[in-house]
Amino acid sequence: MKTWLITGCSSGIGAGIAKAVLASGDQAVVTARNKDKVKDIVDAYPETALAVSLDVTDKESIINAVKEANEKFGTIDVLVNNAGYGYRSAVEEGEDEEIQKLFQTNLFGPINVIKAVLPGMRAQKSGAILNVTSIAAARSAVGSGYYASSKAALELLTDGLRKECEPLGIKVMVVQPGAFRTRFYDEESLKGTKAAIGDYEATVGKSRPGNFENKHQQAGDPNKAGEIIVKVVNSDEYPQILTLGKAAVTAVKTTLEAKIAELDKYADLSASADYDE
């Protein structure tokens, strides 16, 4: 029986993972900024679930959550860094304070949770760390440069972490979802700049919070995502990046193919930067 610590479980993929973990018979530390928001999940599994308040931007909150997890279950075997949110803004419009908050949640928060959990995993010489990013990390979109860069940074950090932890018996993986039927696009969840510039209305404007309706018709099913993640963690081999959703696979594949084509196109010019042999 494994013990999972999952951040950002109040809804969406985090909730889907928590439910799948508990249904599989494993134990779960189910976290949200307000633990009352995960009460329904935990109440269904009183022996194997623990609700914990966790704000990933607060180091003391992280330390307390890890302490509560260890006191209840004795170990943390799987960490899922899922907490995060989106921010819509042209690069020029980005507000310093809001950008810092975004990166604190989407990048530095997960880093601090990893640092809090890794000593225990190193001591037991086993464990798994899953960092949830987005297909935005593979290809950004108009108005999503800051969000995409926070997720891309987390992906590259995960790649380095994977190589560092592999000899220690700890597995590390990126989970890269596409569009899922969650509250991510809801006006109260998706943040946006308050310093809009008129010249960007034709491009960024249509993606700003309040300028479109989230009809919750995305193809991705958060509960199926949770089931897939549990299945992969219980398998013998992890992918480096687990992309979730048919459209997400297509988007990432076409992006990578375009990058390879461009690399090939300029290969001779690129090689000419070397000293003559």
pLDDT tens digits, one per residue of 63-75: 999 999 999 999 9
The pTM is what? 0.94
For residue 275, how many other CB atoms are within 10 A of its CB?
4
| Mean pLDDT along residues 110-121 | 98
Across the beta sheet with 241-244, what order do the strands follow? 49-53, 27-32, 3-6, 78-81, 127-132, 170-177, 241-244
**Residue 191: strand pairing partners:** 87
Closest CA to 227 of 7, 11, 23: 23
CA 202/CA 207 separation, integer angstroms = 10
Tens of pLDDT, residue by residue over 189-238, are: 789 999 999 999 999 998 888 776 667 777 789 999 999 999 999 998 89
* Residues with a known catalytic role: 147
